[in-house]
Amino acid sequence: MRNMEELVIQALKSAARNEQMKHTVQQSAELYPLLWKAAKRYVTGEKRQEALRIAQDFISKDYQISLEFIGENTKDIAECQKAKEELLQLIEDTGALSFNQTVSFDLSHIGLSVNANLAYTNLQELAQKAQQYGISLMISMEESSKASSIIEVYKKIAMQYPNIGITLQAHLYRTEVDIQQLTQYPGRIRLVKGAFQESDDIAITRSRKLNERYLHFVEQLIEAKHPISIATHDKALILEMEKRRYFQQPNVEIEMLYGVQPTLLQQLKKNGYPCRVYLSYGTEWFLYLCHRIAEYPENLYLAVTDIINPSIIESEDY
């Protein structure tokens, strides 16, 4: 059974990276609306206004929010500019909603897949706007092949704009060194396990060893008094961190994705810990859906149920 689960995970991660498959889904009058029924569990909508309505509801319940306009690997300069303009408007709208929220994005959505200079120039513009509106930016981490470029762009701008944070993946072997370096910069570090399919010489597979590694990194960041977002849905891991009193440290927040483990996040908030909900929107949701299912293969059953009977998707009470 375990081998079958691993095969499903690998297949979904491969599907997520398949540009032809994504294009087919997006262009199909039959597949697109069908899979969108499953994606709606995890994606707030295809328009910014839909995401902002849900964000406002969470803010009214004293959650922090992080908003993402989904997109990556954009190779056309004009499309990179469109993505930047959408993010600028998102920053402005989020700032009007509430002070000190976060906007997240992939650098490959705003130019990194063209060249690093374009990504840096667009990031500067976003950082200036975000600083004006009291908004933090969070740079997402992508495949390991992009990690060095992403970190170099971040290092280039981080001292000038302390409102910019960066995401690190615990499963990559390189993260041990990256954390030591990046604690010298002021931005928040968002620590995830890592969703991308990587070779064994680059990353650790999901295992007890990876959980121990995750705990080790969290402890390092807490001891360094560095701002950290603990971004995992692993209940056993979360309970262990609660037992160790990590969530009571002033530099720590908990972050979870919209639609994933809402009851657990609600309980953590009731326990008095700072909690953030990650809300995504846009039409580029195919990869996002594949990763949500791959993280927990049991979500495949939810996806099938949502497709067959979408009316049972409930608005979870966070």
Q: Is residue 70 included in any domain, yes or no? A: yes
- Which tokens belong to 80? 């990179």
- d(Cα 224, Cα 180) in Å, to the nearest integer? 10
Average pLDDT of the residues of the chain: 90
Give per-residue pLDDT as tens, 263-315. Answer: 999 999 999 999 999 999 999 888 888 778 777 666 766 766 777 766 555 54
| Average pLDDT rounded to a whole number, residues 8-34 | 63
- d(Cα 143, Cα 123) in Å, to the nearest integer? 19
Return the DSSP state at 204. Answer: P
Q: Is residue 126 included in any domain, yes or no? A: yes
Q: Does the pLDDT value for residue 16 go beyond 70?
A: no
- d(Cα 275, Cα 271) in Å, to the nearest integer? 10
Q: Is residue 318 included in any domain, yes or no? A: no
Q: Is residue 86 included in any domain, yes or no? A: yes
- Burial group, residue 310, by CB count within 10 angstroms (0-12, 13-18, 19+): middle
3-state secondary structure at position 105: strand
Q: How far is CA 28 from the centre of its chain?
A: 27
Number of structural domains found in the chain: 1
Q: Domain of 222? A: 44-284
Q: Is residue 57 included in any domain, yes or no? A: yes
Q: Is residue 270 included in any domain, yes or no? A: yes
Most confident of 30-44, 133-147, 280-294: 133-147
Q: Is residue 24 included in any domain, yes or no? A: no
Neighbours of 258 (CB within 10 A): 25
Q: What is the pTM for the complete model shown?
A: 0.89
CATH of the domain at 73: 3.20.20.220
Return the DSSP state at 78. Answer: H
What percent of the chain is helix, strand and coil (3-state, nearest 5)?
55, 15, 35
Tell me what pLDDT residue 13 has: 56
Q: Is residue 21 included in any domain, yes or no? A: no
